[in-house]
Amino acid sequence: MTDHTVRAYDRELETLGQRIAEMGGIAERMLSDAMDALAKLDVDLAKKTIGVDPRLDALQREVEDNAILTIARRQPMAVDLRECVAAIRVSGDLERVGDLAKNIAKRAAKIAGEARLPRGIVGLKSMHELAAMQLKDVLDAYAQHDVERARAVWTRDAELDALEDSVFRDLLTFMMEDPRNITFCTHLLFCSKNIERIGDHTTNIAETVIYLVTGEAPQIERPKGETSMVKR
C-alpha cells in the first residue's frame, strides 16, 4: 500500500483491507461449518452457519460504501484507485461465498431426517478441501499483493471442476443403485454445485489481485475442465 501525505487517506485504505480480512475469515468459517454440518447432518450447526450470513452481508455493504466514499473524496489514481475497486470486487465475491456456504447449510438441515449414505459425502469432502485451500491462498494473495500466488489459484480452478464431475457421476450411480438414495443424493448434487461456484468466486478474487497489482486482467481464458457441470 502506498504511503500518502494525508494520513486519513491511508487509514481509509487500511480499514478497507481490515474489513476484507474480516469477511474472508467469516467466509472461511461458514464454509467449514457448513461442510461439517453436512457431513454430520448437524441441524444446530447448520442453523448457526445460516445465522452468521447477515454479518457478512453487512460488511460487504460497509466495504462498498466506504470504497465509493473514498473514491469520491480522494479521487485516487492508478494503484490507489485499483485498491478501492478491488475491495468492492473482493467483498462482493466473499459475500457470494457466504451465500453459497449458507445454501449448503440449508441443504444439511433439510436432509438430516433422510436415510444416510456416508459414501456419498466422500467426494464432497475432497471438493471442500480443495475449495477451502484455494480460498485461503487467494485471501493471502490479496493481503500480500502476491501475483504469483493469485495466478496459482487461478490456474488450479480446473481441478475443482474435475472433482465436481467425478462427484456428479458417483452420485448418479448411487441413485441408480437404490431409488431410496435419490432425495439424499439430489441434495448433495446441489451442494457440490455450490462448492464449485465457491471455486469460481475464488478465481474471481485471484483475477482481481492480478488486476490490483499489475493493472491488467489475465490475458488468457480462465482454465476450465472440459466436462465441467457448467456446460450441463
pLDDT of residue 7: 74
Q: Locate 225 and state its grid cell.
A: 475442465
**Mean of pLDDT values over 48-64:** 97
CB 218 within 8 A of CB 166: no
pLDDT of residue 72: 93
pLDDT of residue 227: 40
Q: Locate 230 and state its grid cell.
A: 457448467
CB 226 within 8 A of CB 232: no
Say yes or no to pLDDT of 41 above 70.
yes
What domains can you pick out in the chain, each with its CATH number? 7-231 (1.20.58.220)
Range with the lowest mean pLDDT among 53-62, 145-154, 215-224? 215-224
For 146-205, write each residue's pLDDT tens digit. Answer: 999 999 999 999 999 999 999 999 999 999 999 999 999 999 999 999 999 999 999 999
**Mean of pLDDT values over 50-54:** 97
CB 192 within 8 A of CB 211: no
Q: Does the model's pTM come out above 0.75?
A: yes
pLDDT of residue 174: 94
pLDDT of residue 229: 37
Question: Cβ atoms within 10 A of the Cβ of 228, count?
Answer: 17
**Mean of pLDDT values over 57-80:** 93
For 88-145, write each residue's pLDDT tens digit. Answer: 999 999 999 999 999 999 999 999 887 678 889 999 999 999 999 999 999 999 999 9
Distance from C-alpha of 74 to C-alpha of 23, rounded to nearest angstrom = 24
Give the angle 161-148-206 at the CA atoms, nearest 5°.
Answer: 45
Higher per-residue confidence, 75 vs 199: 199
| pLDDT band per the 50, 70, 90 thresholds, residue 220 | low
Residue with cell 493469485: 150
